[in-house]
Amino acid sequence: MSKRIVQLGRERVDDYAWMKDDNWQAVLRDPGSLRPEIREHLEAENAYTVAMLGSTEALQATLFEEMKGRLKQDDSSAPVPDGPFEYFSLYEIGAQHPRHVRRARGAEHELAVLLDEEAESTGKAYYAVEAAAHSPDHKLYAWAVDEHGSEYHQILIRDLRTGEVLENGPESATGDFVFSPDSQWLFWVWRNENARPAKVFRRPARGGDDVLVYEESDEGMFLGVGVTSDRGHIVIGVQNQETSEAWLIPGSNPTEAPTIAEPRRVGVRYDLDHWGDRWVIRTNADGAVDFKLVTSRAVIPSSETWEVLVEHYPGRLIAGVAAYRDFLVRLEREDACNQIVIMDRDGVEHAITFDESAYSLSLTPGFEYDTTTTRFVYQSPTTPRQWFDYDMAERTRLLRKTQEVPSGHDPSRYEARRLHAIAADGQTVPITVLKLRDTPLDGSAPLMLYGYGSYGIPLDPSFSTQTLSLVDRGWIWASAHIRGGSDKGWGWFLDGRGPKKKNTFTDFIACAQHLVAHGYGKAGRIAAYGGSAGGMLVGAVANMRPDLWGAVIAAVPFVDVLNTMSDDSLPLTPPEWPEWGNPLTDEAAYDYIASYSPYDNVTAQAYPAIFAHGGLTDPRVTWWEPEKWIARLRNHSTGDRPLLLKVNMEAGHGGASGRFDHLKEVALDYAFAIWALHTDGDLP
The pLDDT mean for the chain works out to 96
- Asked if residue 345 and residue 262 are part of one domain, the reply reads no
Q: What percent of the chain stands above pLDDT 90?
A: 95
Q: How far is CA 444 from CA 273, 472, 509, 516, 521, in A?
A: 52, 15, 19, 10, 7
- Asked if residue 377 and residue 269 are part of one domain, the reply reads no
Is the pLDDT assigned to residue 680 strictly greater than 50? Answer: no
- Asked if residue 364 and residue 309 are part of one domain, the reply reads no
CA pair distance 467, 380, nearest whole angstrom: 13
- Asked if residue 262 and residue 132 are part of one domain, the reply reads yes
Q: Catalytic: which of 290, 479, 653, 657? A: 653
Q: How many domains does the chain have?
A: 2
Strands 327-334 and 317-323, bridge-based pairing: antiparallel
- Asked if residue 376 and residue 293 are part of one domain, the reply reads no
- Asked if residue 285 and residue 363 are part of one domain, the reply reads no
Q: What percent of the chain stands above pLDDT 70?
A: 99
Which structural domain range is residue 369 located in? 318-326+336-405
- Please say which residue of 372, 389, 405 terminates a domain: 405
At 540-587, the pLDDT tens digits run: 999 999 999 999 999 999 999 999 999 999 999 999 999 999 999 999
- Asked if residue 331 and residue 355 are part of one domain, the reply reads no
CA pair distance 647, 612, nearest whole angstrom: 8
- Please say which residue of 405, 433, 457 terminates a domain: 405
Is the pLDDT assigned to residue 384 strictly greater than 90? Answer: yes
Q: Residues near 660 by Cβ (< 8 Å), separated by ≥ 6?
A: 64, 68, 96
Write out the DSSP string of 476-521.
Answer: EEEEE--BTB-TT-HHHHHTTSGGGTHHHHHHHHHHHHHHHHTTS-
Residue 1's pLDDT is 72
Mean pLDDT over residues 529-542, rounded?
98
- Asked if residue 158 and residue 269 are part of one domain, the reply reads yes
At 307-329, the pLDDT tens digits run: 999 999 999 999 999 999 999 99
At 412-446, the pLDDT tens digits run: 999 999 999 999 999 999 999 999 999 999 999 99
With beta carbons less than 8 A apart as the criterion, state whether 678 and 646 touch: no
Residue 359's pLDDT is 93
Residue 487's pLDDT is 96
- Asked if residue 279 and residue 149 are part of one domain, the reply reads yes
Q: How far is CA 59 from the centre of its chain?
A: 28
Question: Does residue 85 form part of some domain?
Answer: yes
- Asked if residue 290 and residue 376 are part of one domain, the reply reads no
3-state helix, strand, coil in the chain (%, to 5): 25, 35, 45
With beta carbons less than 8 A apart as the criterion, state whether 400 and 378 touch: no
Residue 538's pLDDT is 98
Mean pLDDT over residues 28-49, rounded?
96
At 476-526, the pLDDT tens digits run: 999 999 999 999 999 999 999 999 999 999 999 999 999 999 999 999 999
At 347-383, the pLDDT tens digits run: 999 999 888 888 999 999 899 999 999 999 999 999 9
Residue 108's pLDDT is 78
C-alpha Rg value of the chain to the nearest Å:
25
Residue 679's pLDDT is 53
CA pair distance 380, 479, nearest whole angstrom: 13
- Asked if residue 350 and residue 331 are part of one domain, the reply reads no
At 187-220, the pLDDT tens digits run: 999 999 999 999 999 999 999 999 999 999 999 9
Mean pLDDT over residues 9-38, rounded?
96
Question: Does residue 132 form part of some domain?
Answer: yes
Mean pLDDT over residues 438-458, rounded?
97
Residue 681's pLDDT is 44
- Asked if residue 191 and residue 297 are part of one domain, the reply reads yes
Judge whether 661 counts as a catalytic residue. no
Q: Catalytic: which of 618, 637, 657, 669? A: 618
Mean pLDDT over residues 123-142, rounded?
97
At 77-121, the pLDDT tens digits run: 999 999 999 999 999 999 999 999 999 998 877 899 999 999 999
Judge whether 618 counts as a catalytic residue. yes
Mean pLDDT over residues 284-296, rounded?
98
Q: Where are the alpha helices (DSSP H) in 426-501?
A: 468-471, 490-494
Mean pLDDT over residues 663-670, rounded?
97
Q: Catalytic: which of 532, 597, 637, 657? A: 532
Question: Does residue 208 form part of some domain?
Answer: yes
At 222-260, the pLDDT tens digits run: 999 999 999 999 999 999 989 999 999 999 999 999 999
- Whole-structure pTM value: 0.96
